[in-house]
Chain A
Amino acid sequence: MSRLSSELKQVFWVIAAFGALGAVTPFFDDYTQTIITRALVFAIMAMSLDILMGYTGLRSMGHGVYFAFGAYSTAILVTKVKGVGLLTLFGAGLGLSFLVAAFLGFLAIRAVGVYFLMITLSFSMVVWGLAYRWHTVTGGDNGIAGILPPPLFGISLQNPVAFFYFTLGVFLICLGLLYLLVKSPFGKTLVGIREGEARMKMLGYNTWLHKYLAFVISGTFAGISGVLWAMLNRFIAPTDVELVTSVEALLMVALGGPATLVGPAIGAAIVMFLRYWVSTFIERWYLILGATYIITILYAREGILGKVEGLLAWRKAGREAGAAIPRVQKQPEEIRT
Protein backbone atom coordinates (compact mmCIF):
# COMPACT_ATOMS: atom_id res chain seq x y z
CA MET A 1 0.00 0.00 0.00
CA SER A 2 1.38 3.38 -0.96
CA ARG A 3 0.05 4.85 2.22
CA LEU A 4 2.09 2.50 4.36
CA SER A 5 5.28 3.07 2.44
CA SER A 6 4.93 6.84 2.63
CA GLU A 7 4.49 6.53 6.36
CA LEU A 8 7.61 4.39 6.55
CA LYS A 9 9.42 7.05 4.60
CA GLN A 10 8.34 9.67 7.12
CA VAL A 11 9.56 7.52 9.99
CA PHE A 12 12.84 7.04 8.21
CA TRP A 13 13.37 10.76 7.76
CA VAL A 14 12.52 11.51 11.36
CA ILE A 15 14.96 8.86 12.59
CA ALA A 16 17.61 10.17 10.21
CA ALA A 17 17.07 13.73 11.45
CA PHE A 18 17.45 12.79 15.09
CA GLY A 19 20.37 10.51 14.27
CA ALA A 20 22.05 13.50 12.67
CA LEU A 21 21.23 15.63 15.71
CA GLY A 22 22.83 13.02 17.93
CA ALA A 23 25.90 12.93 15.73
CA VAL A 24 26.57 16.66 15.48
CA THR A 25 25.57 17.88 18.94
CA PRO A 26 28.84 16.94 20.69
CA PHE A 27 30.66 19.27 18.29
CA PHE A 28 28.64 22.30 19.33
CA ASP A 29 29.78 24.43 22.25
CA ASP A 30 28.49 23.57 25.70
CA TYR A 31 25.83 26.25 25.72
CA THR A 32 24.35 25.20 22.40
CA GLN A 33 24.29 21.64 23.69
CA THR A 34 22.25 22.66 26.69
CA ILE A 35 19.83 24.59 24.45
CA ILE A 36 19.33 21.48 22.32
CA THR A 37 18.80 19.40 25.46
CA ARG A 38 16.27 21.93 26.74
CA ALA A 39 14.48 21.83 23.40
CA LEU A 40 14.27 18.03 23.61
CA VAL A 41 12.87 18.17 27.13
CA PHE A 42 10.19 20.64 26.10
CA ALA A 43 9.59 18.69 22.91
CA ILE A 44 8.40 15.80 25.08
CA MET A 45 6.06 18.21 26.85
CA ALA A 46 4.77 19.63 23.55
CA MET A 47 4.28 16.19 22.00
CA SER A 48 2.35 15.01 25.01
CA LEU A 49 0.12 18.06 24.77
CA ASP A 50 -0.31 17.35 21.07
CA ILE A 51 -2.10 14.11 21.93
CA LEU A 52 -4.69 16.16 23.75
CA MET A 53 -4.70 19.35 21.72
CA GLY A 54 -3.79 18.26 18.20
CA TYR A 55 -5.27 14.80 18.03
CA THR A 56 -8.21 14.97 20.41
CA GLY A 57 -8.96 18.66 19.93
CA LEU A 58 -8.89 19.55 23.63
CA ARG A 59 -6.90 22.71 24.27
CA SER A 60 -5.45 22.43 27.75
CA MET A 61 -3.90 25.30 29.70
CA GLY A 62 -2.95 22.93 32.46
CA HIS A 63 -0.04 21.02 31.08
CA GLY A 64 2.37 22.75 33.43
CA VAL A 65 0.68 20.80 36.21
CA TYR A 66 2.20 17.43 35.30
CA PHE A 67 5.47 19.09 34.43
CA ALA A 68 5.41 20.52 37.95
CA PHE A 69 4.72 17.19 39.62
CA GLY A 70 7.47 15.51 37.60
CA ALA A 71 9.97 18.25 38.38
CA TYR A 72 9.16 18.70 42.05
CA SER A 73 9.04 14.99 42.82
CA THR A 74 12.49 14.66 41.27
CA ALA A 75 13.81 17.71 43.11
CA ILE A 76 12.53 16.52 46.47
CA LEU A 77 13.74 12.95 46.05
CA VAL A 78 17.22 13.91 44.86
CA THR A 79 17.76 16.43 47.64
CA LYS A 80 16.15 14.46 50.47
CA VAL A 81 16.96 10.81 49.68
CA LYS A 82 20.62 9.84 49.43
CA GLY A 83 21.59 7.66 46.49
CA VAL A 84 18.22 7.74 44.80
CA GLY A 85 18.33 6.16 41.33
CA LEU A 86 16.98 7.24 37.98
CA LEU A 87 14.42 4.45 37.99
CA THR A 88 12.91 5.74 41.23
CA LEU A 89 12.87 9.30 39.92
CA PHE A 90 11.08 8.40 36.71
CA GLY A 91 8.83 6.00 38.56
CA ALA A 92 7.82 8.66 41.04
CA GLY A 93 7.48 11.44 38.46
CA LEU A 94 5.45 9.31 36.08
CA GLY A 95 3.35 7.73 38.81
CA LEU A 96 2.53 11.07 40.35
CA SER A 97 1.63 12.82 37.12
CA PHE A 98 -0.42 9.76 36.15
CA LEU A 99 -2.39 9.92 39.40
CA VAL A 100 -2.86 13.66 39.19
CA ALA A 101 -4.02 13.45 35.57
CA ALA A 102 -6.33 10.58 36.45
CA PHE A 103 -7.91 12.73 39.15
CA LEU A 104 -8.05 16.00 37.23
CA GLY A 105 -9.42 14.20 34.18
CA PHE A 106 -12.57 13.41 36.11
CA LEU A 107 -13.11 17.10 36.72
CA ALA A 108 -12.14 18.40 33.31
CA ILE A 109 -13.26 15.97 30.65
CA ARG A 110 -16.96 16.73 30.77
CA ALA A 111 -16.26 20.35 29.84
CA VAL A 112 -15.63 21.38 26.27
CA GLY A 113 -14.09 24.30 24.42
CA VAL A 114 -13.42 27.39 26.43
CA TYR A 115 -14.76 25.77 29.62
CA PHE A 116 -12.19 23.04 29.32
CA LEU A 117 -9.58 25.74 28.83
CA MET A 118 -10.72 27.58 31.96
CA ILE A 119 -10.83 24.48 34.14
CA THR A 120 -7.37 23.37 33.11
CA LEU A 121 -6.16 26.93 33.59
CA SER A 122 -7.41 26.84 37.14
CA PHE A 123 -5.42 23.62 37.71
CA SER A 124 -2.32 25.51 36.64
CA MET A 125 -3.01 28.26 39.11
CA VAL A 126 -3.64 25.83 41.95
CA VAL A 127 -0.43 23.92 41.35
CA TRP A 128 1.58 27.11 41.09
CA GLY A 129 0.04 28.18 44.39
CA LEU A 130 0.96 24.85 45.90
CA ALA A 131 4.58 25.16 44.77
CA TYR A 132 4.69 28.70 46.07
CA ARG A 133 2.94 28.27 49.40
CA TRP A 134 3.81 24.77 50.54
CA HIS A 135 7.08 25.99 51.93
CA THR A 136 8.18 22.97 53.89
CA VAL A 137 8.01 20.66 50.89
CA THR A 138 8.71 22.82 47.85
CA GLY A 139 10.98 25.43 49.40
CA GLY A 140 8.33 27.96 48.36
CA ASP A 141 9.58 30.97 46.54
CA ASN A 142 13.21 29.94 47.07
CA GLY A 143 12.74 26.75 45.14
CA ILE A 144 14.93 23.69 45.40
CA ALA A 145 18.54 23.80 44.26
CA GLY A 146 21.22 21.17 43.81
CA ILE A 147 19.22 18.60 41.85
CA LEU A 148 22.11 16.55 40.48
CA PRO A 149 21.15 13.77 38.07
CA PRO A 150 22.07 10.33 39.42
CA PRO A 151 24.28 8.12 37.23
CA LEU A 152 22.88 5.78 34.57
CA PHE A 153 24.50 2.34 34.81
CA GLY A 154 27.54 3.94 36.40
CA ILE A 155 27.84 6.65 33.74
CA SER A 156 27.67 10.13 35.19
CA LEU A 157 24.95 12.27 33.68
CA GLN A 158 26.43 15.43 35.11
CA ASN A 159 28.40 15.88 31.94
CA PRO A 160 26.32 17.93 29.47
CA VAL A 161 27.00 15.62 26.51
CA ALA A 162 26.05 12.52 28.50
CA PHE A 163 22.88 14.21 29.67
CA PHE A 164 22.08 15.24 26.12
CA TYR A 165 22.30 11.64 24.90
CA PHE A 166 20.26 10.46 27.83
CA THR A 167 17.58 13.06 27.06
CA LEU A 168 17.69 12.19 23.37
CA GLY A 169 17.14 8.55 24.30
CA VAL A 170 14.18 9.34 26.52
CA PHE A 171 12.81 11.66 23.85
CA LEU A 172 13.03 8.98 21.16
CA ILE A 173 11.32 6.44 23.40
CA CYS A 174 8.52 8.93 24.03
CA LEU A 175 8.28 9.80 20.34
CA GLY A 176 8.14 6.11 19.46
CA LEU A 177 5.44 5.31 21.99
CA LEU A 178 3.37 8.34 21.07
CA TYR A 179 3.78 7.54 17.38
CA LEU A 180 2.48 4.02 18.02
CA LEU A 181 -0.36 5.54 19.97
CA VAL A 182 -1.51 7.87 17.22
CA LYS A 183 -1.28 5.09 14.64
CA SER A 184 -3.23 2.68 16.83
CA PRO A 185 -6.97 2.10 16.64
CA PHE A 186 -7.27 4.17 19.79
CA GLY A 187 -5.29 7.02 18.25
CA LYS A 188 -7.63 7.02 15.29
CA THR A 189 -10.62 7.34 17.60
CA LEU A 190 -9.12 10.50 19.11
CA VAL A 191 -9.02 12.11 15.69
CA GLY A 192 -12.58 10.95 15.14
CA ILE A 193 -13.66 12.65 18.35
CA ARG A 194 -11.93 15.84 17.30
CA GLU A 195 -13.65 15.80 13.92
CA GLY A 196 -17.10 14.82 15.11
CA GLU A 197 -17.82 13.71 18.61
CA ALA A 198 -21.57 13.25 18.09
CA ARG A 199 -20.95 10.91 15.20
CA MET A 200 -18.42 8.96 17.24
CA LYS A 201 -21.01 8.37 19.93
CA MET A 202 -23.43 7.22 17.28
CA LEU A 203 -20.81 4.82 15.99
CA GLY A 204 -20.69 3.20 19.39
CA TYR A 205 -17.82 4.95 21.07
CA ASN A 206 -17.86 5.95 24.69
CA THR A 207 -16.17 9.21 23.83
CA TRP A 208 -15.82 10.24 27.47
CA LEU A 209 -13.61 7.25 28.11
CA HIS A 210 -11.46 7.95 25.07
CA LYS A 211 -11.00 11.59 25.98
CA TYR A 212 -10.26 10.66 29.58
CA LEU A 213 -7.62 8.14 28.55
CA ALA A 214 -6.04 10.68 26.20
CA PHE A 215 -5.99 13.20 29.05
CA VAL A 216 -4.25 10.77 31.40
CA ILE A 217 -1.72 9.56 28.84
CA SER A 218 -0.94 13.09 27.81
CA GLY A 219 -0.43 14.18 31.41
CA THR A 220 1.77 11.22 32.23
CA PHE A 221 4.13 11.94 29.35
CA ALA A 222 4.29 15.59 30.37
CA GLY A 223 5.51 14.37 33.76
CA ILE A 224 8.56 12.88 32.04
CA SER A 225 9.60 16.26 30.73
CA GLY A 226 9.32 17.63 34.27
CA VAL A 227 11.65 14.95 35.63
CA LEU A 228 14.24 15.71 32.96
CA TRP A 229 13.88 19.47 33.37
CA ALA A 230 14.65 19.33 37.09
CA MET A 231 17.80 17.32 36.49
CA LEU A 232 18.89 19.47 33.58
CA ASN A 233 18.45 22.78 35.37
CA ARG A 234 19.41 21.34 38.76
CA PHE A 235 17.01 23.85 40.16
CA ILE A 236 13.26 24.26 40.30
CA ALA A 237 11.14 27.18 41.52
CA PRO A 238 7.50 28.20 41.23
CA THR A 239 8.38 30.43 38.28
CA ASP A 240 9.11 27.24 36.31
CA VAL A 241 5.60 25.93 36.76
CA GLU A 242 3.55 29.08 36.48
CA LEU A 243 0.84 29.53 33.89
CA VAL A 244 3.34 30.76 31.31
CA THR A 245 4.79 27.26 31.08
CA SER A 246 1.40 25.83 30.13
CA VAL A 247 0.76 28.62 27.66
CA GLU A 248 4.14 28.17 26.04
CA ALA A 249 3.48 24.46 25.60
CA LEU A 250 0.26 25.42 23.83
CA LEU A 251 2.20 27.83 21.66
CA MET A 252 4.76 25.19 20.73
CA VAL A 253 2.01 22.88 19.49
CA ALA A 254 0.23 25.60 17.54
CA LEU A 255 3.49 26.83 16.07
CA GLY A 256 4.89 23.49 15.00
CA GLY A 257 1.67 21.95 13.78
CA PRO A 258 -1.02 20.25 15.82
CA ALA A 259 -1.59 16.54 15.25
CA THR A 260 1.81 15.95 13.74
CA LEU A 261 3.86 14.97 16.84
CA VAL A 262 7.11 16.04 15.24
CA GLY A 263 5.66 19.49 14.57
CA PRO A 264 5.25 20.37 18.26
CA ALA A 265 8.80 19.14 18.82
CA ILE A 266 9.92 21.63 16.19
CA GLY A 267 7.76 24.27 17.86
CA ALA A 268 9.52 23.54 21.14
CA ALA A 269 12.88 23.91 19.44
CA ILE A 270 11.86 27.29 18.00
CA VAL A 271 10.64 28.67 21.33
CA MET A 272 13.73 27.41 23.17
CA PHE A 273 16.03 28.78 20.50
CA LEU A 274 14.38 32.18 20.75
CA ARG A 275 14.40 32.20 24.53
CA TYR A 276 17.96 31.04 25.10
CA TRP A 277 19.79 32.09 22.01
CA VAL A 278 18.12 35.00 20.30
CA SER A 279 17.34 36.60 23.66
CA THR A 280 21.03 37.19 24.20
CA PHE A 281 21.05 39.49 21.19
CA ILE A 282 17.57 40.89 21.27
CA GLU A 283 16.16 41.76 24.64
CA ARG A 284 12.58 41.89 23.36
CA TRP A 285 12.65 38.39 21.93
CA TYR A 286 9.05 37.97 22.99
CA LEU A 287 8.15 40.30 20.13
CA ILE A 288 9.77 37.92 17.68
CA LEU A 289 7.94 34.99 19.26
CA GLY A 290 4.69 36.93 19.07
CA ALA A 291 5.27 37.86 15.45
CA THR A 292 6.13 34.26 14.57
CA TYR A 293 2.95 33.15 16.23
CA ILE A 294 0.80 35.69 14.46
CA ILE A 295 2.30 34.82 11.10
CA THR A 296 1.65 31.15 11.82
CA ILE A 297 -1.96 31.85 12.69
CA LEU A 298 -2.48 34.01 9.61
CA TYR A 299 -0.67 32.01 6.98
CA ALA A 300 -0.25 28.50 8.35
CA ARG A 301 -3.09 27.65 10.67
CA GLU A 302 -2.02 24.04 10.54
CA GLY A 303 1.38 25.00 11.95
CA ILE A 304 4.79 25.00 10.35
CA LEU A 305 5.04 21.25 9.81
CA GLY A 306 1.40 21.06 8.81
CA LYS A 307 2.03 23.70 6.17
CA VAL A 308 5.07 21.91 4.82
CA GLU A 309 3.22 18.58 4.74
CA GLY A 310 0.29 20.24 3.03
CA LEU A 311 2.52 21.70 0.32
CA LEU A 312 4.32 18.39 -0.20
CA ALA A 313 1.07 16.45 -0.39
CA TRP A 314 -0.31 18.97 -2.86
CA ARG A 315 2.71 18.66 -5.11
CA LYS A 316 2.71 14.90 -4.79
CA ALA A 317 -0.96 14.64 -5.58
CA GLY A 318 -0.28 16.56 -8.75
CA ARG A 319 2.51 14.20 -9.75
CA GLU A 320 0.82 10.97 -8.77
CA ALA A 321 -2.60 11.62 -10.22
CA GLY A 322 -1.60 9.86 -13.42
CA ALA A 323 0.14 6.98 -11.68
CA ALA A 324 -2.87 6.23 -9.52
CA ILE A 325 -5.25 5.63 -12.38
CA PRO A 326 -4.27 2.09 -13.35
CA ARG A 327 -5.17 0.77 -9.90
CA VAL A 328 -8.73 1.93 -10.31
CA GLN A 329 -11.16 0.11 -12.48
CA LYS A 330 -14.06 2.51 -12.54
CA GLN A 331 -14.59 6.21 -12.80
CA PRO A 332 -10.93 7.10 -13.04
CA GLU A 333 -11.73 10.66 -14.06
CA GLU A 334 -13.27 11.41 -10.69
CA ILE A 335 -10.08 11.32 -8.71
CA ARG A 336 -8.37 13.72 -11.01
CA THR A 337 -9.22 16.67 -8.87
Chain B
Amino acid sequence: MAETQPRLELEAVSKQFGGLHAVEDVNLRLREGGRHGILGPNGAGKTTLFNLITGVLPTTSGRISLFGQDVTRWPTHKRTAMGMARTFQITSLFPKLTVLDNVLLAVQGLRRMKLMMFRPLASYKDVYEKAEKLLTDVNFWHLRDQQVRNLSHGEQRQLEVVLGLASDPKVLLLDEPSAGLATGESREMADFLNSLDKDLSILIIEHDLDVLFGVVSQITVLHYGKVLLEGPSDQVRNDQQVNEIYLGKG
Protein backbone atom coordinates (compact mmCIF):
# COMPACT_ATOMS: atom_id res chain seq x y z
CA MET B 1 0.00 0.00 0.00
CA ALA B 2 2.16 2.75 -1.27
CA GLU B 3 1.60 6.23 0.08
CA THR B 4 0.63 8.76 -2.52
CA GLN B 5 1.99 11.90 -0.97
CA PRO B 6 5.72 12.40 -0.33
CA ARG B 7 6.88 11.78 3.23
CA LEU B 8 9.13 14.79 3.16
CA GLU B 9 8.66 17.72 0.86
CA LEU B 10 10.63 20.96 0.59
CA GLU B 11 9.16 23.81 -1.41
CA ALA B 12 11.40 26.75 -2.25
CA VAL B 13 13.20 26.49 1.11
CA SER B 14 15.77 29.25 1.75
CA LYS B 15 18.01 30.25 4.59
CA GLN B 16 19.95 33.46 4.83
CA PHE B 17 22.61 34.31 7.38
CA GLY B 18 22.84 38.07 7.05
CA GLY B 19 23.81 38.56 3.42
CA LEU B 20 24.83 34.98 2.89
CA HIS B 21 22.41 32.68 1.10
CA ALA B 22 23.30 29.41 2.74
CA VAL B 23 20.36 27.59 1.20
CA GLU B 24 18.41 29.07 -1.66
CA ASP B 25 15.17 27.95 -3.18
CA VAL B 26 15.60 24.23 -2.63
CA ASN B 27 12.83 21.84 -3.69
CA LEU B 28 12.95 18.19 -2.76
CA ARG B 29 10.58 15.25 -2.43
CA LEU B 30 11.22 12.04 -0.57
CA ARG B 31 8.73 9.19 -0.94
CA GLU B 32 8.19 5.95 0.94
CA GLY B 33 11.29 3.80 0.58
CA GLY B 34 13.06 6.58 -1.28
CA ARG B 35 16.83 6.75 -1.05
CA HIS B 36 17.96 10.25 -1.86
CA GLY B 37 21.49 11.56 -1.76
CA ILE B 38 22.74 15.11 -1.38
CA LEU B 39 26.02 15.95 -2.96
CA GLY B 40 27.99 19.12 -2.96
CA PRO B 41 31.37 20.60 -2.06
CA ASN B 42 32.06 21.89 1.43
CA GLY B 43 30.01 24.98 2.18
CA ALA B 44 27.32 24.06 -0.31
CA GLY B 45 24.71 24.22 2.46
CA LYS B 46 24.11 20.51 2.94
CA THR B 47 24.21 20.44 6.75
CA THR B 48 22.29 23.72 6.92
CA LEU B 49 19.61 22.09 4.82
CA PHE B 50 19.44 19.24 7.35
CA ASN B 51 19.18 21.74 10.17
CA LEU B 52 16.25 23.38 8.40
CA ILE B 53 14.50 20.08 7.80
CA THR B 54 14.91 19.03 11.44
CA GLY B 55 13.98 22.43 12.86
CA VAL B 56 17.33 23.16 14.50
CA LEU B 57 17.37 26.39 12.46
CA PRO B 58 14.32 28.36 11.35
CA THR B 59 13.84 28.84 7.62
CA THR B 60 13.98 32.30 6.08
CA SER B 61 11.32 31.38 3.55
CA GLY B 62 9.75 28.33 1.96
CA ARG B 63 7.75 25.45 3.27
CA ILE B 64 8.66 22.09 4.79
CA SER B 65 6.08 19.32 4.99
CA LEU B 66 6.23 15.99 6.74
CA PHE B 67 3.62 13.43 5.73
CA GLY B 68 1.66 16.19 4.08
CA GLN B 69 1.66 18.35 7.18
CA ASP B 70 3.25 21.79 7.17
CA VAL B 71 5.92 21.64 9.90
CA THR B 72 7.89 24.74 8.88
CA ARG B 73 7.51 26.37 12.28
CA TRP B 74 7.58 23.27 14.44
CA PRO B 75 10.26 22.59 17.08
CA THR B 76 12.62 19.69 16.56
CA HIS B 77 11.13 17.30 19.05
CA LYS B 78 7.67 17.52 17.50
CA ARG B 79 9.05 16.70 14.06
CA THR B 80 10.84 13.74 15.59
CA ALA B 81 7.57 12.62 17.08
CA MET B 82 6.06 12.46 13.59
CA GLY B 83 8.61 9.86 12.55
CA MET B 84 11.75 11.67 11.52
CA ALA B 85 15.22 10.91 12.82
CA ARG B 86 18.65 12.21 12.09
CA THR B 87 22.30 11.41 12.61
CA PHE B 88 25.07 13.95 12.81
CA GLN B 89 28.17 14.55 10.76
CA ILE B 90 30.24 15.05 13.89
CA THR B 91 29.40 12.13 16.11
CA SER B 92 26.95 13.41 18.67
CA LEU B 93 26.35 10.52 20.93
CA PHE B 94 26.39 10.81 24.72
CA PRO B 95 30.09 10.02 25.15
CA LYS B 96 30.12 9.57 28.92
CA LEU B 97 27.12 7.25 28.93
CA THR B 98 27.23 3.56 28.18
CA VAL B 99 26.20 2.15 24.81
CA LEU B 100 23.05 0.76 26.39
CA ASP B 101 22.13 4.08 28.02
CA ASN B 102 22.59 5.82 24.68
CA VAL B 103 20.18 3.45 23.02
CA LEU B 104 17.75 3.53 25.96
CA LEU B 105 17.58 7.32 25.70
CA ALA B 106 16.89 6.99 22.01
CA VAL B 107 14.23 4.32 22.53
CA GLN B 108 12.29 6.21 25.19
CA GLY B 109 12.46 9.47 23.25
CA LEU B 110 9.03 9.04 21.75
CA ARG B 111 7.40 7.23 24.65
CA ARG B 112 5.30 8.87 27.30
CA MET B 113 7.24 7.18 30.10
CA LYS B 114 10.16 9.52 29.45
CA LEU B 115 8.60 11.87 32.01
CA MET B 116 8.11 9.16 34.63
CA MET B 117 10.00 10.21 37.72
CA PHE B 118 9.45 7.71 40.49
CA ARG B 119 9.84 4.35 38.85
CA PRO B 120 13.29 3.03 37.92
CA LEU B 121 14.08 2.93 34.24
CA ALA B 122 15.37 -0.59 34.83
CA SER B 123 11.81 -1.76 35.42
CA TYR B 124 10.64 -0.97 31.90
CA LYS B 125 11.06 -4.37 30.25
CA ASP B 126 9.78 -3.34 26.82
CA VAL B 127 12.24 -0.47 26.55
CA TYR B 128 15.10 -2.75 27.49
CA GLU B 129 14.00 -5.43 25.05
CA LYS B 130 13.80 -2.93 22.24
CA ALA B 131 17.28 -1.64 23.08
CA GLU B 132 18.59 -5.17 23.25
CA LYS B 133 17.14 -5.95 19.83
CA LEU B 134 18.61 -2.84 18.26
CA LEU B 135 22.03 -3.61 19.69
CA THR B 136 21.91 -7.30 18.88
CA ASP B 137 20.97 -6.51 15.27
CA VAL B 138 24.23 -4.66 14.79
CA ASN B 139 26.21 -7.03 16.94
CA PHE B 140 26.82 -4.45 19.65
CA TRP B 141 25.16 -6.15 22.60
CA HIS B 142 28.45 -7.22 24.13
CA LEU B 143 29.54 -3.57 24.16
CA ARG B 144 26.49 -2.40 26.10
CA ASP B 145 28.31 -1.47 29.31
CA GLN B 146 31.17 0.34 27.59
CA GLN B 147 31.23 4.09 27.71
CA VAL B 148 30.67 5.36 24.21
CA ARG B 149 33.85 7.43 24.25
CA ASN B 150 35.80 4.16 24.48
CA LEU B 151 34.36 2.81 21.20
CA SER B 152 36.26 2.97 17.95
CA HIS B 153 35.31 5.67 15.48
CA GLY B 154 33.66 3.16 13.16
CA GLU B 155 31.60 1.75 16.01
CA GLN B 156 30.55 5.24 17.01
CA ARG B 157 29.38 5.99 13.47
CA GLN B 158 27.31 2.84 13.44
CA LEU B 159 25.85 3.58 16.87
CA GLU B 160 24.98 7.01 15.52
CA VAL B 161 22.72 5.29 12.97
CA VAL B 162 21.34 2.89 15.60
CA LEU B 163 20.25 5.88 17.66
CA GLY B 164 18.58 7.28 14.59
CA LEU B 165 16.68 4.04 14.14
CA ALA B 166 15.62 3.66 17.76
CA SER B 167 12.48 5.71 17.37
CA ASP B 168 11.30 3.57 14.40
CA PRO B 169 11.43 6.52 12.05
CA LYS B 170 9.88 6.59 8.60
CA VAL B 171 12.24 9.31 7.45
CA LEU B 172 15.93 9.07 8.32
CA LEU B 173 18.40 11.85 7.68
CA LEU B 174 22.01 10.71 7.62
CA ASP B 175 24.71 13.36 7.71
CA GLU B 176 27.88 11.78 6.31
CA PRO B 177 27.53 8.42 8.03
CA SER B 178 30.91 7.27 6.75
CA ALA B 179 32.82 10.42 7.68
CA GLY B 180 36.29 9.51 8.87
CA LEU B 181 35.92 5.79 8.15
CA ALA B 182 38.57 3.66 6.47
CA THR B 183 37.69 2.12 3.10
CA GLY B 184 36.79 -1.25 4.56
CA GLU B 185 34.64 0.31 7.19
CA SER B 186 32.88 2.45 4.56
CA ARG B 187 31.89 -0.62 2.63
CA GLU B 188 30.53 -2.15 5.82
CA MET B 189 28.55 1.02 6.40
CA ALA B 190 27.09 0.87 2.90
CA ASP B 191 26.08 -2.77 3.43
CA PHE B 192 24.59 -1.85 6.76
CA LEU B 193 22.53 0.95 5.23
CA ASN B 194 21.30 -1.32 2.49
CA SER B 195 20.21 -3.86 5.07
CA LEU B 196 17.76 -1.40 6.61
CA ASP B 197 14.00 -1.71 6.19
CA LYS B 198 13.09 -1.16 2.55
CA ASP B 199 10.14 1.09 3.44
CA LEU B 200 12.36 3.54 5.26
CA SER B 201 12.91 6.81 3.41
CA ILE B 202 16.50 7.98 3.64
CA LEU B 203 18.02 11.35 2.87
CA ILE B 204 21.79 11.11 2.99
CA ILE B 205 24.69 13.53 2.76
CA GLU B 206 27.82 11.67 1.81
CA HIS B 207 31.22 12.50 0.42
CA ASP B 208 32.26 8.92 -0.08
CA LEU B 209 30.92 8.33 -3.59
CA ASP B 210 31.18 4.56 -3.34
CA VAL B 211 28.88 4.61 -0.38
CA LEU B 212 26.61 7.19 -1.96
CA PHE B 213 26.15 5.53 -5.34
CA GLY B 214 25.86 2.18 -3.60
CA VAL B 215 22.94 3.31 -1.50
CA VAL B 216 20.88 5.96 -3.28
CA SER B 217 18.85 6.02 -6.44
CA GLN B 218 18.25 9.75 -6.67
CA ILE B 219 20.71 12.61 -6.09
CA THR B 220 20.43 16.35 -5.60
CA VAL B 221 23.59 18.36 -6.21
CA LEU B 222 23.93 21.56 -4.22
CA HIS B 223 26.26 24.37 -5.19
CA TYR B 224 26.45 27.58 -3.14
CA GLY B 225 23.11 26.75 -1.60
CA LYS B 226 21.33 26.29 -4.90
CA VAL B 227 20.22 23.11 -6.59
CA LEU B 228 22.58 22.54 -9.48
CA LEU B 229 21.05 19.31 -10.64
CA GLU B 230 18.62 16.67 -9.54
CA GLY B 231 18.23 13.28 -11.06
CA PRO B 232 18.89 9.54 -10.89
CA SER B 233 22.37 8.64 -9.66
CA ASP B 234 23.58 7.45 -13.03
CA GLN B 235 22.66 10.73 -14.68
CA VAL B 236 24.46 12.69 -11.96
CA ARG B 237 27.48 10.46 -12.14
CA ASN B 238 27.83 11.19 -15.83
CA ASP B 239 26.96 14.86 -15.77
CA GLN B 240 29.71 17.03 -17.19
CA GLN B 241 29.12 20.03 -14.95
CA VAL B 242 28.96 17.97 -11.77
CA ASN B 243 32.16 16.24 -12.68
CA GLU B 244 33.90 19.54 -13.20
CA ILE B 245 32.68 21.28 -10.12
CA TYR B 246 32.49 18.51 -7.65
CA LEU B 247 34.16 15.38 -8.72
CA GLY B 248 37.08 17.29 -10.12
CA LYS B 249 37.64 15.09 -13.11
CA GLY B 250 37.26 15.94 -16.78
Contact = CB atoms under 8 A, between A and B. Distances in A.
Do any CB atoms of chain A lie under 8 A from CB atoms of chain B in the complex? yes
Interface of A: 3-4, 177, 180-181, 183-189, 191-192, 195-196, 198-207, 209-210, 213, 217, 327-332, 334-335, 337
Contacts, number: 116
Nearest to B164: A202
A233 to B, nearest CB: 32
A251 to B, nearest CB: 23
B93 A199 contact: yes
12 contacts: A183-B120, A185-B115, A187-B117, A198-B56, A202-B85, A202-B88, A203-B85, A204-B167, A205-B114, A210-B115, A331-B142, A337-B146
A206 B77 contact: yes
Given A185-B115, A331-B139, A334-B142, 11 more contacts: A3-B145, A180-B117, A180-B119, A184-B117, A186-B115, A188-B108, A192-B97, A199-B93, A201-B77, A201-B80, A203-B105
Nearest to A7: B122
A237 to B, nearest CB: 35
A333 B3 CA distance: 46
Interface in B59-115: 75-77, 80-81, 85-86, 88, 92-97, 101, 104-106, 108-110, 113-115
A217 B118 CA distance: 12
A112 B209 CA distance: 39
Interface residues of B, number: 44
Contact of B109 (A205, A217, A327, A332): A205
A127 to B, nearest CB: 27
A337 B121 CA distance: 28
A335 B113 CA distance: 32
Contact of B94 (A181, A196, A209): A196
Nearest to B121: A185
Contacts of B94: 191-192, 195-196, 199
A188 B142 contact: no
B77 A191 contact: no
A184 B122 CA distance: 8
A6 to B, nearest CB: 10
B88 A199 contact: yes
B121 A188 contact: yes
Contacts of B146: 335, 337
A195 B76 contact: no
Given A202-B85, A203-B105, A328-B142, A186 B117 contact: yes
B115 to A, nearest CB: 5
A207 B105 CA distance: 13
Contact of A183 (B56, B95, B122): B122
Contacts of A209: 115
B64 to A, nearest CB: 16
A198 B118 contact: no
Contacts of B101: 188, 191
A191 B102 CA distance: 10
Contacts of A335: 142-143, 146
B52 interface: no
B92 A189 contact: no
A51 B150 CA distance: 26
A238 B76 CA distance: 44
